[in-house]
Amino acid sequence: MKFGETPVDEAVGAILAHSVSCGGRTYRKGRVLSKEDGSALRAAGITTVVAARLDAGDVGEDAAAETIGDNVAGRNLAAGEAFTGRVNLFAQARGLVVYDSRLLQRVNCVHESITIAALPPYAVVEPRQMVATIKIIPFAVAGATVDACVETIAAAGGLFEVAPFLPRRAGLIQTTLPGTRETLLDKTQAVLRGRIEALGGTLLGETRCAHAIDDVAEAIRAWRRRGCDLLLLMGASAITDRRDVIPAAIEAVGGGIDHFGMPVDPGNLMLIGHHDDLPVLGLPGCVRSPKVNGFDWVLQRLCAGLAVTSDDVMGMGAGGLLTEISARPLPRAEACAPARAPATPRVAAIVLAAGQSRRMGRANKLLADLDGLPMIARVVDAVLGSRADPVLVVVGHQAAEIEAALAERDVRIVHNRDFAAGISTSLKQGLRALPPEIDGALVCLGDMPRITPDQLDRLIRAFNPVEGRAICVPTRRGKRGNPVLFARRFFEEIESLGGDVGARHLIGESPDLVCEVDMPDDGVLLDIDTPQALDSLRR
């Protein structure tokens, strides 16, 4: 790849490395310069730009990210669409992120131009949560470098997967000594039930017996006959040796001890054993508290159907000092998950259809017939065909007629009684009606009948507030159009608007958060305001 100062005359097809403003327009970083761009830059007196030009055998940043994303995304993972050299991986099930950190390091060491960042191994994730991100640093990468990265992943059989939580059925045995309080046993049972249910499992029941080898052994046999996928043993006295009561009882019924102790604090006195194929855990005293401890890490893996070996346990020391973490999450608060990565942004659409169409004369342009459908129905059908969900339509002027034109469509009607005060009132009414989980709103005008689902989806795919793309604006030949997608962070500011003013001023006030999305046709520039414009469209 060639990079540096490039004469404008040689820059057609090159990728702009730094934004350039001239003639009232801004050519943003990452733009592939066209012949028209070159002419406009020359006309503005600009003779050189900083640009990147691909060599033979180079792979563009998006294509490289897509290739690597497709190869690293294993079971229960989906790769998002590439944008500015980035592809994100999203979980398709609730479970644990599983990968070899040494393999990830080898992949990252193939070349500095290819980077993969991921959540910690065995992190708990929810559906639609981001698990990893692939980012290509320059605008292009040598094809041989991409191939080497793919070969490293393929040789290991893949990189990332999500092991889903399974509906495990657990049994619980609690031992007692003289003076053991029933309230303590009740609390322990409740806390453990919460832990197991938070991972999609069920606590089948509990047995209480004396803290003696024979009594514990008989309780284990009873649970074995009853049937369960996991057996938990909570002693009235902590396990201090492999020959203590609980491990001795496991061996007395023909079971074995796989590992005792773990480099996680709290949770040091954890015991992992088995009876045939049934995992049997001797629990440390810290499980009486709902705060995260070493038992949670073992339980999560078992509930995801993963084996826990002695080497696995001894590898938990890195990050295993939990005692000093004051904000450890509770099991019912995301099942003891570490810090969460952002999920795929949820985008709703607000179609503004409350205006009075003053420039059209007496007719309401939104009800104008276009090939057998009212204009507003054409716009709403395009929005419904996109990924936006839910779709809200704000009505005011001739509300009953607009509603009738949208009959049987899956939209929510929002009434704006103050529609005569201007577009700001409709926009605010629409935002107030959005569900609380929405991350962004696609603000659509009801008089843009050439908008398509593909155009809207391009904006939605580009939208990612976490990565700095908090306002997505469609462009065509360098000119900005509609609709515009705003992140939730701007909703409060929009509430301060008044009169016939929309939210486009936010674009100019937040340039670092604006993402321009180039469109393949002029639909994003065309709105129908006059009878002449309507006639022209019909022709």
CATH code of the domain in which 114 resides? 3.90.1170.30
| Tens-digit pLDDT profile for residues 254-265 | 999 999 999 999
- Examine residue 429 and state whether it is found in any structural domain, yes or no: yes
Number of domains in the chain: 4
Q: What is the DSSP string of 18-51?
A: S-EEETTEEE-TT-B--HHHHHHHHHTT--EEEE
CATH number for the domain that contains residue 434: 3.90.550.10
Question: Could you tell me how far CA 107 lies from the centroid of its own chain?
Answer: 23
Residue 380 lies inside a defined structural domain of this protein: yes
Most confident residue range from 15-24, 46-55, 434-443: 434-443
- pLDDT higher than 70, residue 227: yes
Residue 499, domain extent: 347-538
- Decide if 257 is inside a domain: yes
Of 114, 139, 164, which residue is a domain's last? 164
The backbone region for 136, taken as left when phi is positive above 0, alpha when psi lies in -120 to 50, beta otherwise, is beta
Residues 409 and 480 in one domain: yes
**Band (500; pLDDT cuts 50, 70, 90):** low
pLDDT at 284: 94
Instruction: Answer yes or no: do 186 and 153 share one domain.
Output: no
**Same domain assignment for residues 418 and 439:** yes
DSSP state of 343: B
pLDDT digits (tens, 9 = 90+) for 413-460: 999 999 988 888 999 999 999 999 999 999 999 999 999 999 999 999
Q: Where are the alpha helices (DSSP H) in 385-502?
A: 399-405, 423-432, 453-462, 491-494
